[in-house]
Amino acid sequence: MSPTVSILMPVYNTALYLREALDSMLAQTFTDFELLVLDDCSPDNAGEILDRYNDPRIKRYRGEHNEGLANILNVGIDMARGKYIARMDSDDISLPDRLKVQVEYLESHPDVDLCSCAMRLFGSREGLWVRDTDPDKVRISALFFSPVLHASSLWRREAFEGRGLRFDQSAVPAEDYDLWCRALVAGLRLVNLPDVLYLYRIREGQATEDTSRTSPKECDIRRRYFRAAFPHASDKMEADFLALPDLPRPRMALLFLRLTLQNLCRPSFHSKKLALRLWRYYCAR
């Protein structure tokens, strides 16, 4: 009998925190899941730690060579048998009710294909990450940054699988942003729950902190998503839009884009919400 949820946990050089991450998943109040531990040839003692667990819900994979984050996640997607697929990083902590809350939400909202949840940061930096709960605002936020918190996401396997939506290794370390944009273009509905159900560890030097590596990839993803969202936009408008983060005080450019994009919005975009997002983007600058 297939489990309700298949959890993808890639492992690479996180042995110091692995037990804490595993224990947090095994302590979930929602218990109908399989935990797919994807060891990407980690050079530390992750294997020895995993050997101490005999919970039948844990399924292990270790390839012959390092495959990369997106590729190892796709291995997990191929292994998954659940109705839903959840993500979990091997150095983080899921609070006990995380799966319960997310599964109940998708079960009661059949029109939504993915839900993530808010994260509390700990480690080398503290804080709170919350993303938009409104699917329309999620679509608009994707014009600026990754609109879904990846590590705490849970999605309908059939919805993504049926549209051929998988991770792309060439997009790493922005593989999540790339996948969410392609999912939105395919018509899927994504939301972020406001509940703090996940503790996200910030370690010095990790990809989340290294914006210099993600910027070129993110810029290309933004460009492709902008083109898919506004196919009739001119090359000049695309260039102006992509240049927004580099402008010191882009007020005139934002006002121009706010008025022009309202006239270009496809039915899948809410023009007033887009205008508000553009204004907030300016204010944040």
Give the pLDDT of residue 210: 47
Give the pLDDT of residue 257: 64
Task: Report whether 27 contacts 96 (CB < 8 A).
Answer: yes
Please check the confidence at residue 44 and state whether its pLDDT lies above 60.
yes
Q: No. of H helices and E strands in the chain?
A: 11, 9
Question: Alpha-carbon distance 269 to 259, whole Å?
Answer: 14
Please check the confidence at residue 229 and state whether its pLDDT lies above 80.
yes
Nearest to 80 by CA among 7, 156, 162, 177: 7
Averaged confidence pLDDT in the chain: 88
Would you kindly state where each structural domain of the chain is located, as residue ranges?
5-202, 230-284
Q: Which runs of consecutive H residues, i.e. helices, occur in the chain?
A: 15-26, 46-51, 69-79, 98-108, 135-141, 157-161, 175-185, 211-229, 235-243, 251-264, 271-284
Write down the pTM of the prediction.
0.89
Report for 122-136, 187-201, 260-274: range of highest mean pLDDT = 187-201
In CATH, what number does 5-202 get? 3.90.550.10
Nearest to 113 by CA among 102, 100, 127: 102
Q: What is the pLDDT of residues 125-135, one digit of tens each?
A: 899 999 999 99
Give me the residues paired with residue 94 across strands: 198
Residue 266: band (very low, low, confident or very high) from pLDDT cuts 50, 70, 90: low
Residue 244: band (very low, low, confident or very high) from pLDDT cuts 50, 70, 90: confident
In angstroms and rounded to an integer, the radius of gyration of the C-alpha atoms of the chain is 19
Residue 234: band (very low, low, confident or very high) from pLDDT cuts 50, 70, 90: confident
Residue 205: band (very low, low, confident or very high) from pLDDT cuts 50, 70, 90: low
Average of per-residue pLDDT across 193-217: 76
Give the pLDDT of residue 249: 55
Residue 245: band (very low, low, confident or very high) from pLDDT cuts 50, 70, 90: low
Give the pLDDT of residue 178: 98
Give the pLDDT of residue 90: 97
Q: What is the pLDDT of residues 145-154, one digit of tens each?
A: 999 999 999 9
Question: Alpha-carbon distance 154 to 30, whole Å?
Answer: 14
Please check the confidence at residue 213 and state whether its pLDDT lies above 80.
no
Nearest to 42 by CA among 6, 22, 68, 23: 68
